[in-house]
Structure 1
Amino acid sequence: MDVYEEAVGYLKSQRVPVQTETEVMEEDVFQEEAESCLLSPLHSESIDFPDTPKFSSPEEMLERRLVVLKRILESEEVYLRELEALLMPMKALRASAGTSQPVLSSQQVQTVFYQVPEIRDMHQSFFSSLKDRLSAHCHIKPGPGEDGQMSYTGFELVVGDVFLKMVNHLGLYGGFIGNYEEAVEVVRKCTQSNPCFRTLAQSMMSNIGSDKTRTKYTFEALLYKPLDRVTKTTLVLLDLLKTTPETHQDYALLQEALRLSHSFLSGVNESSQSKRGVMLSHSVRRKLMRDGFVVDASEGERHMRHLFLYTDLLLCTRFKLATKGKQDQYRFCWYLPLAGLKLRWIADQQHSPDAQLRLHTIRTKMHLLRQQLLQHAQGSKGMTLASRTRKKLEQLELMLLTHSPVYTLELHSPSCKSHTLLFSSLHELEDWREAIHKLTIDNIETVPPDLLTLTNACVKLRMTQQPRLHSTNEVEDELSLCGTLSVAVHSACGLQQPASVYVCVEVDGYDFYDKQTKTHSSVHSFNPLWDQELAFQVDAAQELRLLCVSQSDEYNDAVLGKTCVKLDSKTLKKRWRRQTLNLGQVEVTISLKFSPHPLEPPSASPPLSPVFCVPIEVIAQQEGVLVPHVVRCCVEEVERRGLAEVGIYRISGASNDISTLKAAFNSDLREAVTKLRRAEVNVASGVLKLYFRELPEPLIPTDMFQSLTRSLEIQDVDSRMVSMLSLLQSCPAPNRNTFLYLLHHLQRVSQKQDTNKMTLTNLATIFGPSLLRPPVAGLEYNGSSMDISLELVLQVQVVFNYLQCNNLPEAQTSLPHDTDSEDETTHM
């Protein structure tokens, strides 16, 4: 058997799969790092970590100490798996060294794996000892009615001697570090000259993380792991010492371990005479792909950070403005390799009432400063005041950018490290998600970076110099908008499969007002329909962004497409202009109009526009429709899930659920529709009946009652229907179209009467009293007083006759938005 095949067979016997080929990245590193990204001296203090947290009590400090120890244990477990992955082929390579076709010679095997088994054994002993200590002091005590709870006594947990023992064996790393460059050189030469070894060296696997995710490494990446680990030893001890009270038994032991660790790294640095470039893999170097400012949320706090996306990692930094005469610099916060990185974004996060009040206060102050800025004179004194005002405005806008984001992008690495980024714009979040996702497809872990060199290079490499602040604009663009921008979202087409979809609309400009809103989610369909108007108060707006998002029942939203539209005050008018926008795989049809006017100060909360118990013509005007959204959404939900439901309009849903949905429709249409999608279908039918029952005036105006009852006396069916349809045409447009929309729906329900038992008679009996009422109780009929029973019969007969009509006119659900005869529909 071929020697290489024997080596591969050994690896497979150890359940370590070996792939035949590995794609390599083609990007080149930026020029400066290509020449100078060196294996820097092993400084323990070269990384600027966040400030030490302040603890309110020793108990809180000890609790935090336990968290730190658990993280150290998890990190050790990952490191041991990486060392095992590195050592896995050693036995097979040694066996092949004595054959006629060796993959590596005995000397080369000795060079490549020098001191690695000893380092593995040392860390295995450290890991086992630390795990035993933690297990002894963190035990499960079942409580009544509980599965169990963590119990420990912080001062009794002693681990300092374990760390001190490990640090006393750091000398093992000295030999590894001195041999490292030669080992890497052997790997590179053999990779280039031996195809068999190249396949092995570029496809080594390890189980990493709690979910045992299989991560692929290059040989060079695994060889770098011990170097990366030893440089972090001092930092780990510093973190542990920060959470250990001075009165604790471990404090002196950890101080001594820290001193020894620092002394070891200093000695290595003094003896290091040469540096060499660290490549990601064969012929691959690191390249900056994107950077920008984001909000980093950790442990309940938010911080504005500068994020750098490279070909193989994400680097999070904080910018430190230099004092006079010195250079600006970046401080390291954290980094995540892209190999195996999982992304998850979350929408519809809500601010707490306190946060909303804080944001409103900031916005109000910003608005006042903006007004003062516009009023300052052009003289020298005015310019000085303007400069001060602009500075305050910038500070407030930075605060707003930090505390207003609600979109969450979660980053989860196979090594169990996670970070959360926050965005105020879904469009920006999706840009970052797409860019990161493209680079995570090839699951190969590369050589970890020299963080000091990489972070120092950020000043020269950055493409985004500072957060985008509108307050820094010296002169407003004359084409920017100030007033009310209305966006009517009509429909979408081009979906590859039926989906529940919503459209997110965002505008730019000052943050005095809400700059983003969404339509409600459509029913499952190939062609979503909304006909929903959204309005923005805009100041200095120049761009409109749209995103079409598919919403699943599990909240795993997916962006189907996005686009940007330039807003030009010269082309936007007070009349609607219809446009069809291409968002990638889907097209969305919208209409725009703009009304310029001075803006009022921002309000603490948008005024509520209740839907129930309000005349239908008022609702239609507020929503810019002919059929209210509450009617359309309930009808869509019944037709989606309830046509086969027995007694769909006869059996009512839970009254509490109906009341909850009523309150939701009165406050937030989007939230109401989301709840409607999850409610029992009988609750949806109950909300629809309640809406018509609570109208101040019935859907069919009361002054038509006598005319309709007289039409019932016409014996000829066709003549009677012509008379009733003629009367219907005299109704106000919202009443007429809503009534027709409901009639068509009830006819579709009755078509399933064999299943749902809802005949036209049953439906007329249920809806008749809600849709039609006499103007005065006991109104005379044919010269005699009308009792309640006769009134009910007439209400049912009117609705029944309409339901029997086979040629009912179609209902218009919304007003035409392309009313400007000079404008034509445009495709963008």
Structure 2
Amino acid sequence: LTHSMIHTDNIFPMGERPQRHLVRNSFIVEVDGNRKLRHLFLFNDVLLCAKYKATNRPDKFTFDLKWFISLHDILILEGGISLDQVKETNPPNLVSLKSQAATVRDQLRHLEGSSEGKGQTTNSSATSSNTSSSSVGGGILHTSRVEKYRKRLSDLEAQLILASPNLTWKVGRRGVSNLHYTFLLSSPYEKQQWTEAVNVLQNNSPGVGGSSLTAQELQGWITAYRSFLKTNMGNFLLRSGRDEPLLLGDLHIVADALQGLHASANVFLCFEVDSYGHFFRKAKTRQLESQEPKWNQDFIIELEGSQTLRVLCYEETPTEGVRLRGKEEVDLSTSWLCDSLQERTVALQDLTLTLQLKYIAPEATLRRVPTAKPHGLFGTPIAAVCRREKRSVPFVVTRCVREVERRGVGELGIYRVSGMSSDITKLKKSFESNPYEAEQLIKEVDIHSVTGLLKLFLRELPEALFTNELYPRFF
């Protein structure tokens, strides 16, 4: 239950020390017409929401209390609402923001790359005062452009923090029917953890609502806790130029085997990665009933500004339903990740999971290589495929889209959650060799494998859909 426990003897003198302690906290997005960045604190006697204010110094931040609800007045509105029902004045365009961020990031990478070349040229040609003066002027201009793009990228990433989450979580005040607060979370796990934390506290703490709490007192508490919250703030918001760059590209995961179960259990794994400060569920294994389950399932997860992989192990029981058996977070770093599979042992409380991981940088994932097969499907120019099939749109595209419309429109994370690599490979071979077999197979595999196949077809096109000629006009 305890997400972050901070000892109050560092904050209050011994004689004045209250029994209040912090149970859970995180930054969160609140919606009230517009999306706003907030920080939510759950103490053992009160839930409070504060405005998050960053300063120019990366390790400093402040909080301003916005509202609070005493523990036994908290009402979790379980029914909830969908994101479409949330009234927003200017709903964010997530796809557009990600596209803009990718474009600015490419431009920044190009500028920084050319900067190294210019630096070498400057060193070798600094023989005359005119050349030296020109180089200095050009260097200042170049540095100014780099800083401009960095600021633009930082602004876009700040907007992505607000635009990314899409799961609603509503909190009300008991006895006040028309007062509620709507938050947006990105992970079902996070939503479940917040709800369970409140429920456990209410069931195990004596007392009733309406306790005499004051805003001034609570502001003092969150101000005092501020310096202790660095590791729980969401590392993305506290990054500095000294930190390792966030990862972009593809993370390949092979889920091998789980050990430590004392009896046969029906278990499955979920994998989440962070993106611009939020965690998103990206992949899920099949359920296996065994004392030593062995999945041998592989997934490809797209990384978008990521630094952490969260591994969750769940067990489904007839009496308790689905319950969490263990979790662990793995730091993603190029210091140990590489383009070949690395075995990793992950401790999930009393369980041990064996994984294999490898990382493919974006430069490699975006490299388009034409197929060597004269009549191939994947890696072949889309115009050639259409001519051969005598269709305006390739069959693999229309079939995947039709299958998604048939059974995937209501699926959470459609086109975002990764499918099984083995199923995607089978589908790819079937569409290339036997379309009739593919027609049957596509009905049987997980819908995320279908979307994975479509994304693979588009990714392997030797020329992007925008075409090389028109691409500069769009970006």
Q: CA deviation at 1:313?
A: 0.9
What are the Cα deviations for residues 585-631 of structure 1, in whole angstroms up to 9, with x where unaligned? 54444322233351678xxxxxxxxxxxx99xxxxxxxxxxxxxxxx
Aligned counterpart in structure 1 of residue 153 of structure 2, from 393, 399, 421: 393
Letter in 1 for 2:46: L
- The CA deviation string for residues 401-454 of structure 1, in whole angstroms up to 9 with x for no partner, is 112113444446654665443323456556656665664422324843211342
2:369 corresponds to = none
Q: Which residue of 2 aligns with 1:503?
A: 269
| Residues 369 and 527 of structure 1, relative CA distance in 2, 3 Å threshold | same
Deviation at 1:305, TM superposition (A): 0.6
Match runs of 1:421-570 below 5 Å? 421-425=183-187, 432=194, 436=198, 439-440=201-202, 441-445=204-208, 447-455=211-219, 458-462=222-226, 463-464=228-229, 468-469=235-236, 472-475=239-242, 477=244, 481-492=247-258, 494=261, 498-499=265-266, 501-508=267-274, 516-519=281-284, 521-522=286-287, 530-538=295-303, 541-550=306-315, 558-570=323-335
Equivalent in the alignment of 2:101:
366
**Structure showing greater relative contact order (alpha-carbon pairs closer than 8 Å, 6 or more residues apart):** 2
- Secondary structure of 1:458's counterpart equals helix
| Shift in Å, 1:563 | 0.5
Shift of 1:312: 1.3
Pairwise mapping of residues 48-67 of structure 1 onto structure 2 (< 5 A)? none
Contact 1:486 1:594 in 2 (8 A): yes
Aligned AA (1:548): C
Equivalent-residue separation in structure 1 for 2:333 and 2:206 (angstroms):
45
Q: Aligned ranges for residues 230-245 of structure 1 at < 5 Å?
A: none
Using structure 2 for the length normalisation, give the TM-score: 0.55
Are the structure 2 counterparts of residues 519 and 492 from structure 1 closer, same or farther at C-alpha, using a change threshold of 3 Å? same
Q: Is the contact made by 1:484 and 1:595 (CA closer than 8 Å) also made in structure 2?
A: yes
3-state SS of 1:563 partner: strand
Letter in 2 for 1:424: S
Q: How far apart are residue 335 of structure 1 and its match?
A: 1.3
Determine if contact 1:517/1:534 at 8 Å carries over to the other structure: no
How far apart are the structure 1 equivalents of 2:312 and 2:84? 22
- Distance change >3 Å, CA 426–CA 388, structure 1 → 2: farther
User: Contact (CA 8 Å) 2:81, 2:168: kept in 1 or not?
Assistant: no
CA distance in 1, matches of 2:337, 2:62: 45
Whole-Å Cα distance in 2 between the matches of residues 428 and 321 of structure 1?
Answer: 23
Report how far residue 545 of structure 1 moved: 1.3
Distance 2:79 2:268 in 1: 15
- SS of 1:361's partner is helix
For residue 363 of structure 2, the aligned residue among 598, 604, 610 is 598
- 2:413 maps to 1:664: no
Aligned residues of 1:495 and 1:586 also touching (Cα < 8 A): no
> 5+ unaligned residues in a row in structure 1: which ranges?
1-25, 36-276, 602-613, 616-658, 673-690, 700-733, 739-828
Q: CA RMSD in A?
A: 5.4
Letter in 2 for 1:387: E
Secondary structure of the residue aligned to 2:104 is helix
TM-score normalised by L of structure 1: 0.34
CA distance in 2, matches of 1:564, 1:541: 12
The question of whether the paired residues in 1 share the 8 Å contact of 2:187 and 2:279 is answered with no
Q: Which amino acid aligns with 1:370?
A: R
Q: Does 1:381 align with 2:141?
A: yes
Partner AA of 1:396 in structure 2: L
- Give distance in 1, aligned partners of 2:285 and 2:91: 22
Relative to structure 1, the CA distance from residue 553 to residue 334 in structure 2 (aligned partners, 3 Å threshold; closer, same or farther) is farther
Q: CA deviation at 1:561?
A: 1.8
* Matched residue SS, 1:364: helix
Output the CA distance in 2 between the equivalents of 1:504 and 1:344: 26
More strand by share: 2
Q: How does 1:242-321 map to 2 (within 5 A)?
A: 284-298=18-32, 301-319=34-52
C-alpha separation in 1, matches of 2:55 and 2:276: 29
Deviation at 1:316, TM superposition (A): 0.3
Distance 1:663 1:412, change over 3 A: same
| 1:669/1:301 CA distance change after superposition, 3 Å | closer
Aligned mate of 1:402, from 137, 162, 179: 162
**C-alpha displacement at 1:334, in angstroms?**
2.1
Offset, 1:361: 0.6
Task: Rate the CA distance shift 1:328–1:488 in 2: closer, same or farther, 3 A.
Answer: closer
Deviation string 1:64-115 (CA, Å, 9 cap, x unpaired) is xxxxxxxxxxxxxxxxxxxxxxxxxxxxxxxxxxxxxxxxxxxxxxxxxxxx
Q: Which has the higher helix share?
A: 1
The answer as to whether partners of 1:502 and 1:518 remain within 8 angstroms in 2 is no
Judged with a 3 Å threshold, the aligned counterparts in structure 2 of structure 1 residues 587 and 593 are, in CA distance, closer, same or farther, namely same
Residue 450 of structure 2 corresponds to: none
- Distance, in Å, in 2 between the alignment partners of 1:553 and 1:670 is 27
**What code does the residue aligned with 1:590 have?**
L
Q: Indicate the SS of the match to 2:205.
A: coil
